[in-house]
Amino acid sequence: MENGGSRQVTMAELREVQITEEKPLLPGQTPEVAKTHSVETPYGSVTFTVYGTPKPKRPAILTYHDVGLNYKSCFQPLFQFADMQEIIQNFVRVHVDAPGMEEGAPVFPLGYQYPSLDQLADMIPCILQYLNFSTIIGIGVGAGAYVLSRYALTHPDTVEGLVLINIDPNAKGWMDWAAHKLTGLTSSISEMILGHLFSQEELSGNSELIQKYRNIIAHAPNLDNIELYWNSYNNRRDLNFVRGGDTTLKCPVMLVVGDQAPHEDAVVECNSKLDPTQTSFLKMADSGGQPQLTQPGKLTEAFKYFLQGMGYMASSCMTRLSRSRTASLTSAASIDGNRSRSRTLSQSSESGTLSSGPPGHTMEVSC
């Protein structure tokens, strides 16, 4: 890449393609038109897809996917869910593909230096600058959750909220490295990534979902690129979150993990390090390692509640929640200013409820 003023022009360089989202349409719904762009950054080109148009005084929803996936395979079931349409019609959204993960991406040449996760986070300002977006609500999974957290630490004024699924904020320790190396001797890259994405119970059950994603990853034409992203994830630095310290997330955060998921312990530990007045914790039963794929309805309801706590979703949009509970929560939120109250969520597979605040207060979800 050239250096100096000549490369400043690259912020305007882009590849723009209009595509129509392939999904069943709801009655009266028109197809969403997406625009895919690529912009140059100091660490290489990054591709992202924009749906909708900017809404006045509202942030963009920006997503970042996990290793082995791209924005479609990671987020499509969630954003195509019927109740999610109430949300996305009110926000412009930006789906970022990590370099080399977009559909049709060429394989990087041998010896290519793939960006670190910190450098991937440093690409996001280039995206927002090109789009002229000032603030975001981020939704990240796994490696993508780490990238968005790193970005939020360095650009706190541009992040209004974060939904972090399966985040592991810790660098790999020596024991982790040893286990990783031993696994690499007997398992392929695709199998190791599947073990990162899904629980052992899910992999053993070999459901239709597991078969689908095993096939996607094992036969990915850009598997060499995926391995580079995987290596960057395994070489991540510790985010060094400290509750009450300077290194913490300043915005409202919703942590999400499936019960018995591979990253359950890491997310629980992350929750213990963040500001409890700003952090919600949602442990989803019967959702496996990828709740946005297996339980999009329940995650949609939690996301609506999260947005409502930020003052963006009216109670009338809470179509599947207990009306009486939502009304009382809205009243309470209006008193204490929405953003400063403590939110802790947990989910029971038997009762189908989300608990919030003091014991005994529940927000019902029927999925």
Q: Where are the alpha helices (DSSP H) in 132-222?
A: 143-154, 174-186, 189-197, 200-205, 208-218
- 65-90 pLDDT, tens per residue? 999 999 999 999 999 999 999 999 99
Q: Which residues pair with 96 in a beta bridge?
A: 48, 64
Q: For residue 350, name the pLDDT band (cuts at 50, 70, 90).
A: very low
d(CA 238, CA 228): 19
Amino acid 362: pLDDT: 27
- 183-203 pLDDT, tens per residue? 655 579 999 999 999 999 999
Amino acid 187: pLDDT: 73
Least confident of 42-46, 150-154, 159-163, 356-360: 356-360
- 224-253 pLDDT, tens per residue? 999 999 999 999 999 999 998 888 999 999
More confident residue, 32 or 239: 239
More confident residue, 29 or 213: 213
DSSP-assigned letters across all residues of 319-363: TTB-HHHHHHHHHHHHHHTSTTS----EEETTTTEEE-SSTT-EE
d(CA 137, CA 135): 7
Stretch 114-125: mean pLDDT: 98
Report which of 335, 364, 332 is spatially closest to residue 348, judged by C-alpha positions. 364
Tell me, rounded to whole angstroms, the distance of Cα 298 from its chain centroid: 15
Least confident of 25-34, 169-178, 295-304: 25-34
| Percent above pLDDT 70 for the chain | 73
Between strands 33-41 and 44-51, the pairing is antiparallel
Q: For residue 313, name the pLDDT band (cuts at 50, 70, 90).
A: confident
Domains in the chain, CATH or no CATH each: 35-312 (3.40.50.1820)
Least confident of 144-158, 204-218, 265-279, 307-321: 307-321
Q: For residue 129, name the pLDDT band (cuts at 50, 70, 90).
A: very high
Beta-carbon contacts of 39 under 8 Å, excluding residues fewer than 6 positions away, are 10, 11, 13, 14, 45, 46, 126, 127, 130
Q: For residue 333, name the pLDDT band (cuts at 50, 70, 90).
A: very low
Does residue 355 carry a pLDDT above 90? no
Amino acid 182: pLDDT: 60
Q: For residue 223, name the pLDDT band (cuts at 50, 70, 90).
A: very high
Stretch 299-327: mean pLDDT: 70
The sign one gets for the Cα dihedral 327, 328, 334, 340 is negative
The structure tokens listed for 260 are 């018995």
Report which of 126, 121, 99 is spatially closest to residue 12, judged by C-alpha positions. 126
Q: For residue 115, name the pLDDT band (cuts at 50, 70, 90).
A: very high
Question: Which pTM was predicted?
Answer: 0.81
96 in the Ramachandran plot: left (φ > 0), alpha (ψ -120 to 50) or beta? beta
Q: For residue 179, name the pLDDT band (cuts at 50, 70, 90).
A: low
Amino acid 175: pLDDT: 64
Amino acid 174: pLDDT: 57
d(CA 362, CA 322): 9
